[in-house]
């Protein structure tokens, strides 16, 4: 079985763009993500990737090679398009809120409001971890880990149907997850800036679509 190294690398990167953006946002707020929390997020994300790819692999066993290729590529492209649409819709809503705020709020308040809006990853997370202690432990990171992993299930199933190697993809995803969290928090603390949700969403969706197109022709 071909290992499809390029596709494995791309799907692992796309699985961790959200983690990178979240980590940078926490770094800006000077919230420390402990080693235990980092490993927990990486393990949960990797297990989610492995399980979803295993499901996709089982589905492909009941299909002909050509059908499996078309279905796997189609699923990946569809997920990428849907993710792109969601990202652009959210950005449009954010700009509408910012425009409305400029009409009704003092410019200083608008600036503060936009800074807060740019950290919407934190506001949307399922837990207010780190808000009091200034750090995130392994147990506290579990809800966040599952939240980040859920977004990757569809891509994992599509990758499994396309014939990507689940074990190698899982290991690659784990390594990149650890690096994304570590690099993201460091970047946030050092530069007090972050990859906003728009760019994270565009990158992730674009990579997923690229994998689907690539897998169709290989």
CA distance from start to end of the chain: 12
- What CA–CA distance (Å, rounded) separates 63 from 77? 19
pLDDT of res. 164: 87
What is the chain's pLDDT, residue by residue, as a tens digit (218 residues)? 455 788 888 888 888 887 887 887 778 777 788 999 999 999 998 999 999 999 998 888 887 778 877 888 888 888 889 888 988 998 888 888 877 766 555 444 444 344 444 444 444 443 444 444 478 888 888 888 887 787 678 888 888 888 888 899 999 999 999 999 999 888 877 765 545 667 777 877 887 788 778 777 76
What pLDDT score does 122 carry?
44
The DSSP symbol for 140 reads T
Q: CA 28, 38, 17, 22 torsion: positive or negative? A: negative
Contact 47, 143 (CB under 8 A): no
Q: Report which of 137, 171, 160 is spatially closest to residue 40, judged by C-alpha positions.
A: 137
Q: Which residue has the tokens 């190697």?
A: 165
Q: Which residue in 82, 45, 27, 73 sits closest to 193, CA to CA?
A: 27
Buried/exposed 127-166: b ≥16 CB within 10 Å, e otherwise: eebbeeeeebbbebbbebbebbbebbbbbbbbbbbbbbbb
Domain residue limits, the chain: 5-217
Q: List Cβ neighbours of 163 (8 Å cut-off, separation of 6 or more).
A: 1, 2, 4, 57, 60, 68, 69, 72, 215
């Amino acid at each position: 079985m071909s290992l499809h190294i390029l596709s494995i690398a791309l799907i692992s990167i796309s699985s961790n763009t959200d983690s990178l953006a979240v980590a940078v946002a926490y770094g800006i707020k000077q919230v420390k993500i402990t080693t235990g929390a980092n490993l927990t997020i990486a393990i949960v994300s990797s297990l989610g990737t492995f399980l979803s790819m295993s499901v996709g692999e089982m589905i492909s066993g009941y299909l002909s090679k050509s059908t499996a290729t078309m279905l796997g590529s189609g699923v990946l492209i569809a997920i990428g398009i849907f993710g792109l649409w969601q990202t652009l819709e959210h950005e449009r809503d954010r700009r509408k809120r910012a425009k409305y705020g400029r009409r009704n709020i003092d410019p200083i308040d608008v600036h503060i409001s936009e800074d807060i809006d740019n950290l919407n990853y934190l506001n949307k997370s399922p837990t207010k971890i780190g808000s009091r202690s200034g750090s995130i432990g392994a147990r506290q990171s579990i809800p966040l880990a599952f939240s980040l992993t859920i977004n990757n299930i569809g891509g994992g199933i599509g990758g499994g149907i396309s014939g990507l190697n689940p074990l190698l993809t899982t290991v690659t995803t784990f390594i990149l997850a650890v690096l994304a969290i570590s690099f993201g928090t460091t970047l946030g603390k050092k530069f007090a800036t972050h990859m906003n949700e728009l760019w994270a969403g565009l990158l992730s969706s674009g990579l997923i679509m690229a994998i689907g197109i690539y897998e169709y022709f290989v």
